[in-house]
Amino acid sequence: MIRPLFLVLFVSSISQCSLSTANEDWTQFRGPGGLGKSDSKNLPTDWSDSQNLAWKTKLPGAGSSSPISLGDEIFLTCYSGCGEANPDASVDNLMLHLVCLKKADGQIKWKKDIAPSLPESKRVRDHGYAGPTPATDGKSIFVFFGKSGVFKFDLKGNQIWNTKVGDGLHGWGCGTSPVLFENLVIVNASVESQSLVAIDKESGKEAWRQSGMKASWNTPHLVKTKKGDFELVVSVKNEILAFDPSNGKSLWTCDGIKDYVCPSIISEDGTIYAIGGRESRCLAIETGGRGDVSESHLKWEAKAGANVSSPVAFNGHLYWVSDRNTTAYCVRMKDGEIMYRERFRGQPYASTVLADGKLYVVTRRGGTFVLAAEPEFKQLARNRFDGDSTQFNASPIVVDSKIILRSNQYLYCVGK
């Protein structure tokens, strides 16, 4: 089985959504709107252990989740006691962590230890026990730890509530990140209960639940339709599903990826773009339909995809690098024409980030590649930290003209 991972996340950066914060905040998986894009400028193209490295912090545990940023602080999750750091230790020693760091220098301000709900998977292949990225509405931090449930913390690390969404386990672990909409925290609990679950942010009580989340490791995506309303879309095996995020009502379905799905959906101008599967498939679907829209709203499909990594959109083109066949893709958004399909020297689990007119592609062990965000393949740089031999599974974030990178051992801040 080719490895599914986490991925995936989330919410549109509009005033109706509770994650509308400053441009320099990165408050969810893949940042503003869950689109993997930043307005930051003057980012470095080259870096190393001795060049353009602002700070480097040893983390209290491993993890594949991305950090998030709010104001002067960075938050991330990790785990310790077994797995990557202690491969021979029993899972009974597992401990989960939520960590807060100062954005200016990387100093750890506080660490919250969270006892997991046992029994857990004896081994989670590659990704570990901290895959989902936290989300914040500017007042609280929301964290998803799979079987252990969804947690709400205040900004000082005090736990407010914990809500379980299912008891299922999987050898590839949990990777879907929470998304926030109005008064709700929404998680794709495919592994835990094959459900999409919405939880009231204040009380921690379940607000609605939808079944049918089959073989899905991607984070749901909030998209604004051309009519101005919101749809919550998620890619599951064989289908793309859309729901009313306020009440969970099913809106439409469309032919999807004929395989388990890890890459998260992105959108632009009311059209969603989904990739995935060993069959390498990319779909463009117009939102706003009802019922089965496979014939009416599927605009085009292309033979290009990825098993884990998610795409990014820029100037009329989609960009990503597939972990399955280590190939970089550029697909024209208006008609699905493949502009390039270029062999790539590295396997990414992280999703591509766009900033400063460049694409930042983090590979697991081959460093971070910087590509031109143009429909002609051009590699600008390849950057590595020689002192870190652990895996880089987490998607990077970009804040304050800095790139934050996370490995299983360190958190790095890269900037001029």
Residue with tokens 């914990």: 162
Q: What is the pLDDT of residues 146-204, one digit of tens each?
A: 999 999 999 999 999 999 999 999 999 999 999 999 999 999 999 999 999 999 999 99
Residue 236 is assigned to a structural domain of this protein: yes
Residue 15 is assigned to a structural domain of this protein: no
- Which stretches of the chain drop beneath a pLDDT of 70? 1-23
Number of structural domains, the chain? 1
Residue 18 is assigned to a structural domain of this protein: no
Residue 242: Cβ within 10 Å count: 29
Q: What is the residue range of 225's domain? A: 32-414
Residue 6 is assigned to a structural domain of this protein: no
Residue 61 is assigned to a structural domain of this protein: yes
pLDDT at 401: 95
Residue 1 is assigned to a structural domain of this protein: no
Residue 287 is assigned to a structural domain of this protein: yes
Residue 370 · residue 403 · CB < 8 Å? no
Q: Distance of CA 88 to CAs 69, 81, 121, 131, 139, Å?
A: 34, 10, 14, 21, 39
DSSP 195-245: EEEEEETTT--EEEEEE---SB-S--EEEE-TTS-EEEEEEETTEEEEE-T
Residue 353 · residue 312 · CB < 8 Å? yes
Residue 12 is assigned to a structural domain of this protein: no
Residue 270 · residue 224 · CB < 8 Å? yes
**Which CATH number characterizes residue 294's domain?**
2.130.10.10
